[in-house]
Structure 1
Amino acid sequence: MNRFSSKLSTAIARVTEAAHAPYQSAVIRIGFAATWLLFLLREYPHREELYGPDSPWSWDLAQQLLGMNHAFTTLMWSDSRLWFEAVYALAVVSAASLALGWRTRTASVLFMVGVLSLQNRSVFMGDGGDNVLHLMSLYLVFTRCGRVWSLDARRARRTQRSRARGEHVVDRAGPALWAVLGAVLVAATALGRFDWTEPLVPALLWGMWVAHALWWLTGRSGRTAEPRILLDVIGNVLHNAALLVIMVEACLIYATAGWYKIQGSRWQDGTAVYYPLHLDYFSPWPALGGLLAASGTMVLLVTYGTVVVQVAFPFTLFNRRVKNVLLALMMTEHAVIAVVLGLPFFSLAMIAADAVFLPTSFLHRVSGWAARARGRLSRRRGTAGLPVPRAPGDAAHPQAGPAAAVPPAASPPAASPTPVSPT
């Protein structure tokens, strides 16, 4: 009994004391935000046909569908062209902000709003990658994905150094951003824009706004250390739970795809890959597709290999080495799909989802390579007579950040002994 209690206490402490996998969280954040941003920029000339007033999926059809599924989209708040342009611009800006890690918590919420607003406006415009992005935009809200490789992390280090020198640091942008978004929430609620039949997104938006206020208030005075610790614990639990959900989601995607393939006759006889290589819609490089399809052995190996990797991957999580090998194979496969079949955004979304399984040691090495490259660039600039930027603090070992359940504008606590990301 004592041994069981000890193991239970250790497990609880592991979940509550720290937000795990900060580097994997950062890669996921950058991957999905960059995928969505690149898609929006590429489709900018066609935005009105995809999601706007000129879409074949008309305003009336969208209203009828939303009346049945009660999905969330801000694009249905008004049929004004100006409103559509504003929502599209918000989606672009929030994706760029999330990729850079600026005000990460708020950016993640606005990123979710942008993804849901556009995709739910024209539900038949997407593919498998859009479905993954749709789900991950919800999960990212609960992660503390700005602790490393972000502007928030750099600002937190600078704030800590300033406070160590006895300087008084005030975050004015955070409260201002909170006030503006709060006014928007109040106006949307008062005007009846939210559909409370399906209250998930409206409740999440209000919950994040209130939690952000609590985080900021508990950091105003050292006497509120206990509430701040409680919020930090809640943030750790939500972050770790969201990462677990992302892992399970990725495993389900591959497992269901693999088992469905097994039931198909073309996958059983090893010829399934041959057919998409000869479809004009999936042939941006016909010569390359024809070259791959010309080898029956290659088609057979790729067909069976795809099924084996997808079915086996969830079971390889218990063996780190085998998992890393299959992870590399899956990422390579998605990169080939992006080039050969012309599905770059689907492939980028899947690679970003796979990144949650990347080994921490590898990401540490990537961080070290980036730091050395930055150092060499700084030395070259110094040799050329240019001003050399001051090197930020060591980002290889991030400390605890703010609660994951709050938006990014909160200032770090004055009494915090470790650098915290003011997100």
Structure 2
Amino acid sequence: MSRFERPLARGINNVTGFALGPYQTAVIRIGFAATWLFFLLRELPHRHEMYGPDGPWNWDMAQQLIASNGAFTALMWSDGHVWFEIVYAVGIISSALLLLGWHTRAMSVLFMIGVLSLQNRSIFMGDGGDNVIHLMSTYLVFTRCGQVWSLDARRAARRTRGTNGTDADADADADAGVGAGADLPFDPVGPALWWVFGLGLSVVTFMGELSGGWLLFFWGLLLVHGFWWAVGRRAPESELRKLLDVVANLAHNAGLLVIMVEACLIYATAGWYKIQGSRWQDGTAVYYPLNLDYFSPWPALSELLSSHGIMVLLVTYGTVAVQVAFPFTLFNRRVKNVLLVAMIVEHSVIAVVLGLPFFSLAMIAADAVFLPTSFLRRLGGWAARARSGAVSRLPLPRRGGVPEQRAVSEPQDGKREEKRGEKRGGEPTEPARVGFTP
């Protein structure tokens, strides 16, 4: 094999043999699910005015728009209050479960249905971050976003370690992706979810609420997922299962690539459009939103920032420069990381100063796909240690009215266990893999 064929063969093996970016897909799963969940909870008292039957964009107007653009929304299936409450509750529950990584394949589809149903019902509600969530919720369906930092990964790690492994061992293995490529133990919840979704889809199809591309899309997802589960149960070591792994890895890697390209397009188009504006050219564009009541949750802070002309000029030009340059810095890791930190800080400032927290959270979640794997692993390690410390401080259950004492191992055993923990938390020798769980 020539020197040119080896890198090509290695690249093809990585794309088809592994689901790349397990930590990146996990962090964007957590980020977008948390952003949408917090938004729905904050707007819970105003849900009827924003997306429900009491809103200014009434049901008849939404129906006319949907008929013209063919967008998907389950809220158009009925104009009743009860149906709206069900859809809104499904949006909250699916976001929370996707955040935790519980049956991520099913929850990612349900999460997408909740996002599209609410946003397409009232298209004028949102601050820009809703558009990002709208797109990313669709892309997440095609990714294996539960490889690490999920209940699915923890369940797979327990299966790999066997019944003798402790909960702490399973948590460490799940965070590191150990056992994520093994077949998950039989879980009746997965088939139950498949049958419930199939029954619901059959009813909707019979009622004529779905047609065309959306009908094929949802039925295709249901049939593919069912076929995947059946092959995994009947012939887990067969060539057909290996072929399905290759197809799933290709779908995951393609979805991850689309998410990265989408994030670059958002910044590139925003930056180039800003360049064409006269206010951005003369360096005064940032001054105007700081003096609008709608974007001034802290009037004193906005007035302080807008009163310094040099600062306004630097922020205006700096915003344009960072957005235009970012897609071109992906080829240089150090410069990319510097600009990535600058954009995350910028969105954090926008969340506080302009009062746009959910827009900023959505953009930070999109930026997280470019975070280095080493940093994400360290972040997961810090979170695991913080969780272990919090659990260790909890009192154990009482036995006969006397608190149970925690077992203290010998010093040598403690050292040995510490070394095992260090080894377990280290970098895996190959990219983590995971099977789609129902």
Residue pair 2:91, 2:111 contacting (<8 A) in 1 also = yes
1:202 deviates by 2.9
Over 3 Å counting, the alpha-carbon distance change for 1:139 and 1:90 in structure 2 is same
Residue pair 2:19, 2:253 contacting (<8 A) in 1 also = yes
Q: Report the secondary structure of 2:55's partner residue.
A: coil
1:276 aligned onto 2:289: yes
Match of 2:187 in 1: 171
Q: Report the secondary structure of 1:124's partner residue.
A: coil
Among candidates 308, 317, 330, match of residue 343 of structure 2 = 330
Q: Map of 1:24-35 to 2, 5 A cutoff?
A: 24-35=24-35
| 1:60-86: CA deviation from partner (whole Å, max 9, x where unpaired) | 111111111010001000111111110
Over 3 Å counting, the alpha-carbon distance change for 1:383 and 1:110 in structure 2 is closer
Over 3 Å counting, the alpha-carbon distance change for 1:371 and 1:224 in structure 2 is closer
Match of 1:400 in 2: 433
For residues 388 and 370 of structure 1, what CA distance do their matches in structure 2 show? 23
Over 3 Å counting, the alpha-carbon distance change for 1:387 and 1:84 in structure 2 is farther
Among candidates 159, 181, 198, match of residue 197 of structure 2 = 181
Match of 2:354 in 1: 341
For residues 97 and 52 of structure 1, what CA distance do their matches in structure 2 show? 24
Residue pair 1:143, 1:243 contacting (<8 A) in 2 also = yes
Residue pair 1:378, 1:388 contacting (<8 A) in 2 also = no
Among candidates 196, 208, 214, match of residue 227 of structure 2 = 214
How many residues are aligned here? 399
Q: Report the secondary structure of 2:162's partner residue.
A: helix
Residue pair 2:133, 2:362 contacting (<8 A) in 1 also = yes
The one-letter code sitting in structure 1 at the alignment partner of 2:301 is L
For residues 96 and 348 of structure 2, what CA distance do their matches in structure 1 show? 23
Structure 1 outlier segments of 4+, above 6 Å: 386-389
Match of 1:419 in 2: none
| 1:107-156: CA deviation from partner (whole Å, max 9, x where unpaired) | 00000000000011111112311111100000000111111111111111
Q: Report the secondary structure of 1:142's partner residue.
A: coil
Residue pair 1:379, 1:388 contacting (<8 A) in 2 also = no
Match of 1:161 in 2: 161
Q: Map of 1:255-274 to 2, 5 A cutoff?
A: 255-274=268-287
Q: Report the secondary structure of 1:125's partner residue.
A: coil
Match of 2:180 in 1: none
Residue pair 2:62, 2:122 contacting (<8 A) in 1 also = yes
Q: Map of 1:194-209 to 2, 5 A cutoff?
A: 194-196=210-212, 199=213, 201-209=214-222
Worse overlay, 350-359 or 218-227: 218-227
Residue pair 1:25, 1:356 contacting (<8 A) in 2 also = yes
Q: Map of 1:361-376 to 2, 5 A cutoff?
A: 361-376=374-389
Q: Map of 1:8-19 to 2, 5 A cutoff?
A: 8-19=8-19
1:371 deviates by 2.2
Worse overlay, 16-25 or 155-164: 155-164
1:193 aligned onto 2:209: yes
Over 3 Å counting, the alpha-carbon distance change for 1:222 and 1:64 in structure 2 is closer
| 1:279-328: CA deviation from partner (whole Å, max 9, x where unpaired) | 00000000111111111111111001001000000011011000000000
Match of 1:109 in 2: 109
Residue pair 1:28, 1:352 contacting (<8 A) in 2 also = yes
Q: Map of 1:13-412 to 2, 5 A cutoff?
A: 13-162=13-162, 169-196=185-212, 199=213, 201-222=214-235, 225-381=238-394, 394=424, 397=428, 399-403=432-436, 408-409=437-438
Residue pair 1:34, 1:96 contacting (<8 A) in 2 also = yes
| 1:235-275: CA deviation from partner (whole Å, max 9, x where unpaired) | 11111111111111111110111111111111111111011
Q: Report the secondary structure of 2:342's partner residue.
A: helix
Over 3 Å counting, the alpha-carbon distance change for 1:72 and 1:364 in structure 2 is same
For residues 123 and 335 of structure 1, what CA distance do their matches in structure 2 show? 25
Residue pair 2:381, 2:425 contacting (<8 A) in 1 also = no
CA RMSD of the aligned region, Å? 2.3
The one-letter code sitting in structure 1 at the alignment partner of 2:195 is A
Residue pair 2:94, 2:107 contacting (<8 A) in 1 also = yes
Q: Report the secondary structure of 1:314's partner residue.
A: helix
